[in-house]
Amino acid sequence: MSTDPRRQMFEPIEVALEELRERYLPDDRGEVADDIPELAKADPGHFGLSLVSVDGHRYRAGDTDVAFTMQSISKPFVYALALADHGLEAMLDRVGAEPSGEAYNAISLDPDTGRPDNPMINAGAIVSASLVAGAGAEERFERIRTTLSGFAGRDLALDDRVYRSEMATGDRNRALAYLMRSTGALGCPVDEAIEVYFRQCALSVTADDIATMGATLANNGENPVTGQRVIPEEVDEQVMAVMATCGMYDSSGEWLVRVGLPAKSGVAGGLMALSPAQFGIGLYSPPLDAKGNSVRAVEACRDLSADFSLHLLHRPARDTPVVSLRMPDNDEPAVLCLRGDVDFVGAEQALRSLDPVEAHWAEHPGPHELVLDLARVSSVEPVAAAMFEALAAGLAESGVRLSVADPRRRALLAELPEREAP
Ligand code: GLU
């Protein structure tokens, strides 16, 4: 637990993580993966939870510094790199974005084109890895390692033993790659694609690392601990969307309903989940359920989501941004005073609140003026700005002047004229 006095006030978060750890540590259901023989050596008693906020603060409980291999948790990050290299349209031609509803290592390929269903299953991940720009396996993997290190905020290294173990036994993935090579879905030699894919799976991380990686996704692609921009914002959104629909193997749909957070798990026992604009969480516990997800990590995420109301589609009741509306009075302009972050719905509410003013203007001769008082507004979304600009244009046609008052002159609505606070 934190000993830094500045962080005492955040202790409830560490207490909550510790409670989850204590609640589920005795749960010994599940089996440690053994299809990659080296993974079977993991200690089934390890359980760590690490949370990193988009401000870069970390909270942790349990075994958050135990190393394990990323396995499938590498998939969203490699997909992100391929997206940054090629763009969404080109990537969708090669790898779909549909949940397969099948096991991660199934032959989930489009019957006509051979295109894998999505980048979170092995087939789609092998194609994604092959599309990362680079002259050969070595260069491609180095780009992957560097990018994933950017997400983690530290230099990630290969676990050579796990890599070799999968190299020696991963024939199902080779078979998948040969199949995709035969249909043209895989554009590079099988050995090259498999080498890159097995290496990305064998990158060694801790629960702390994957929490930072999740927090980077939650923070629009900028690592909140190091400040490094790792991927462009639009790529970040696309990756989170695919994680939300396809990230938890063939229980992705139920996960979205129950937990409602974009997530990705791996057969080594890691699970990364994130709450956009809030935090990333990394969990590690090796025993897996029948679908391949860490038993304790899934239970802990369910509770965390319910206790902290984290479901992506949960929307707390919102306040109207309209603080007050002063009706026009003789020579005095009408004043609409707004607050907070004004988005699409906020602008729509603000515009609708003007109905009585417009009725007043219709009955009284002009000239008329409306002032938007933005002193208490913290931001205006581009869509809301466009709505106010359209309002200004419409009002100008009927001889009404719209101006903005902001004592801090932040140019929140830069296209509209400013005036002194009324
Ligand atoms: N390297 C593993 C495989 O391809 C990753 C599987 C996983 O974590 O889902 O079989």
> For this structure, is 239 an active site residue?
no
> For this structure, is 284 an active site residue?
no
The one catalytic residue among 59, 75, 127, 196? 75
Count Cβ atoms below 10 Å from residue 101 Cβ, excluding itself: 14
Ligand 1 centroid–CA 413 distance in Å is 50
pLDDT bracket for residue 398 (50, 70, 90): confident
For the question of whether the overall pTM of this predicted structure is more than 0.75, the answer is: yes
> For this structure, is 75 an active site residue?
yes
Ligand 1 centroid–CA 45 distance in Å is 21
pLDDT tens-digit series, residues 369-394: 999 999 999 999 999 999 999 999 99
Query: From the alpha carbon of 105, which atom of ligand 1 is closest?
Result: 10
- Give the pLDDT confidence score for residue 111 in this predicted structure: 83
Ligand 1 centroid–CA 122 distance in Å is 7
Ligand 1 neighbour 165 (Cβ under 6 A):
no
Q: Could you say which DSSP state residue 85 is in?
A: H
pLDDT tens-digit series, residues 36-92: 999 999 999 999 999 999 999 999 999 999 999 999 999 999 999 999 999 999 999
pLDDT tens-digit series, residues 243-293: 999 998 888 899 999 999 999 999 999 999 999 999 999 999 999 999 899
Hey, whose CA ends up nearest to atom 2 of ligand 1?
A: 71
Ligand 1 centroid–CA 267 distance in Å is 6
Ligand 1 centroid–CA 143 distance in Å is 20
Mutate to test the pocket of ligand 1, among 159, 251, 267, 272 (most ligand atoms within 8 A of CB): 267
pLDDT at 320 over 70: yes
Ligand 1 neighbour 166 (Cβ under 6 A):
yes
Residue 327's Cβ-side half-sphere holds a number of Cα atoms within 13 Å equal to: 10
Hey, whose CA ends up nearest to atom 7 of ligand 1?
A: 72
Tokens of 164: 């070799």
Helix axis angle, 160-169 relative to 190-201, nearest 10°? 140
Mean pLDDT of 185-214: 97
Mean predicted lDDT score pLDDT of the chain: 93
pLDDT tens-digit series, residues 99-131: 987 777 888 888 888 899 999 999 999 999 999
How far CA 245 is from CA of 167, 248, 297, 387, 406, in Å, comes to 29, 8, 18, 32, 42
Please enumerate in sequence order all residues whose Cβ is within 8 A of that of 289, keeping only pairs 6 or more positions apart, or say none: 29, 30, 295, 298
> For this structure, is 163 an active site residue?
no
Please enumerate in sequence order all residues whose Cβ is within 8 A of that of 203, keeping only pairs 6 or more positions apart, or say none: 69, 70, 74, 145, 148, 156, 157, 158, 159
- Give the pLDDT confidence score for residue 319 in this predicted structure: 84
Please enumerate in sequence order all residues whose Cβ is within 8 A of that of 187, keeping only pairs 6 or more positions apart, or say none: 94, 130, 131
Query: What is the identity of the amino acid at 3?
Result: T
